[in-house]
Amino acid sequence: MVLKYLLVLLSDSSASFCYYPSPKAEIPKGIAVANSHKKDNAFHISDEKPTDIYYNEKQHLISLDHLKKTVVFALKNNLKVNFLYPHFLLDEAYTKVIEEVEHIKIIPFDAKIFNEDAILILDSNDFPTTLDLVNYTHQNFILKLQKKDLKKLDTMIQILLAKSARINLVLMDLENYEEKDYAIYEKQLGKITRKLIQYQNQNAIPELNFLTDRIDLNQMNNCQAGIQHLTIAPNGKMYLCPAFYHENPSEDLGEIKNEIFIKNARLLELNYAPICRICDAYQCKRCVYLNKKLTLEINTPSSQQCITSHIERDASRRILEKLQKMHPDFNPQITIPQLNYRDPFEIVKGNPQKIATLNHP
Ligand code: SF4
């Protein structure tokens, strides 16, 4: 394991930025939040100081002591930190510690806390109006798209495009995806692709993890939980990622320390993932939490994850072809061959011997 960064869940109510569902977050009376997205709402201002009882007992905020230990650990090991924020402002003692280390703030958009360097989490359930977004430019967004909103993806992306430097899409309810949903996703990506090409004409193509990452990649660029990053939860313990904490807090990896023991750690590696190893959907998250949840095997992906990633890969292939036609010197080292399958499992199924060989590189 070569740790590069830590994820820190500042509170049990920190919004989810990935496939696991967000915990219920309530903003109780007496907790101050900025009341608009105007730039003059300084990040740390609160009109009424929340009580310690609220912080520590009701929302399970990480203790100041654990936060300090985390920051010292990050500084000593030269790690960056991604702080996952709750829906309320932190008091000064917390913000002071956070500012000591190089970090990224990941904040739920509906917390209405303006910070132009932060990554903002949007949920399609409460997608903002254009008016809410008026003060944003070149922001990084994470869009958590609920399956019921799949048909609105193109409209949401269109609203965000003008405001974004990067959009990371997370498909929620992936376990319930069926053929008809794949067809809708494919159609939506087609619509977004046409818009992206127009942006390219203006020489300002925004980054979209599900469409433009693959056109720049010639090797896997997966999540790497447990390999490049670990999570510190509000209880001060380490976990593979926030999802593992929320699913089962007792499955921790122990206190913050350098020697972390992860049972069957090699199963997290690409070399020990027989299906992913033969795949070139390099933009795929290869989410080990989803693997475990949907296939019960941490190194075996679900067909839903593979099919949606291949729909993205194919849309990226079309974008790359168009761009290389328009600009022959555009990423000449990248190729995305057309495939006749949507799930690499189709290649390895019925050939257990091949899987066995791939399992032992
Ligand atoms: S598409 Fe499937 S096989 Fe390919 S990297 Fe993603 S999870 Fe692995």
Same domain, 203 and 330: yes
State the pLDDT at residue 87: 83
Looking at the fold, whether 297 and 319 belong to one and the same domain comes out as yes
Query: Whose CA is closest to 246, among 57, 18, 20, 15?
Result: 20
Number of the ligand 1 atom closest to the C-alpha atom of 309: 1
Quick check: 252 and 260 in contact, CB under 8 A?
no
Cβ–ligand 1 distance for 306 under 6 Å, the answer yes
Q: Which of these ranges, 21-30, 110-119, 137-146, 290-299, has the smallest mean pLDDT?
A: 21-30
For residue 41, the model assigns a pLDDT of: 37
Q: Is the pLDDT of residue 32 over 50?
A: no
Report the C-alpha gap between 218 and 336 in whole angstroms.
9
Rounded to 5 degrees, φ, ψ at 107 are -125, 135
Q: Quote the ligand 1 centre to 349 CA distance (angstroms).
A: 14
Residue 41 in contact with residue 135, Cβ under 8 Å?
no
If asked whether residues 314 and 348 sit together in one domain, one would say: yes
Quote the ligand 1 centre to 342 CA distance (angstroms).
Answer: 10
**Ligand 1 contact via 286 beta carbon (within 6 Å):** yes
Using an 8 Å Cβ cutoff, are 126 and 148 in contact? no
Look at residue 354 in the predicted model and tell me its pLDDT.
Answer: 58
Please work out whether the CB of residue 311 comes within 6 Å of at least one atom of ligand 1: no
CA 61 – CA 282 distance, rounded (Å): 36
Both 180 and 290 in one domain: the answer is: yes
316, 337 contact by CB (below 8 A): no
Q: Which residue has the higher pLDDT, 296 or 197?
A: 296
Q: Does residue 69 have a pLDDT over 50?
A: yes
Q: Is residue 150 part of a domain?
A: no
The enclosing H or E element of 286 equals none
**Pair 11, 23 in one domain:** yes
Ligand 1 closest atom vs CA 220: 5
Q: Using pLDDT thresholds of 50, 70 and 90, give the confidence band for residue 201.
A: low
Whole-angstrom CA distances from 85 to 7, 41, 94, 221 are 11, 17, 11, 25
Host domain of residue 345: 155-219+264-361
**What distances in angstroms separate CA 187 from CA 180, 191, 285, 321, 340, one per listed residue?**
11, 7, 21, 18, 18
What is the count of structural domains for the chain? 2
Question: 276 CB less than 6 Å from ligand 1?
Answer: yes
Residue at a domain's end among 237, 261, 285? 261
Both 253 and 309 in one domain: the answer is: no
Q: Which of 211, 301, 243 is nearest to 9 (CA)?
A: 243
| Average pLDDT over all residues of the chain | 86
Q: Whose CA is nearest to atom 3 of ligand 1?
A: 276
The CA 166 to ligand 1 mean position distance, Å, reads 22
162 and 281 share a domain?
yes
Q: Is 344 in the pocket of ligand 1 (CB under 6 A)?
A: yes
**Within this chain, do residues 204 and 171 fall inside the same structural domain, yes or no?**
yes
Is 275 a pocket residue for ligand 1 (Cβ < 6 Å)?
yes
Is the same domain home to 81 and 166? no
Same domain for 211 and 351, yes or no, is yes
Asked if 335 contacts 324 with a C-beta cutoff of 8 angstroms, the reply is no
Q: Say whether both 74 and 202 belong to one domain.
A: no
Q: What is the mean pLDDT of residues 286-307?
A: 95
Q: What is the rounded end-to-end Cα distance, in angstroms, of the chain?
A: 18
pLDDT for 48 equals 44
| Residue 355: pLDDT over 80 | no
CB 206 within 8 A of CB 168: no
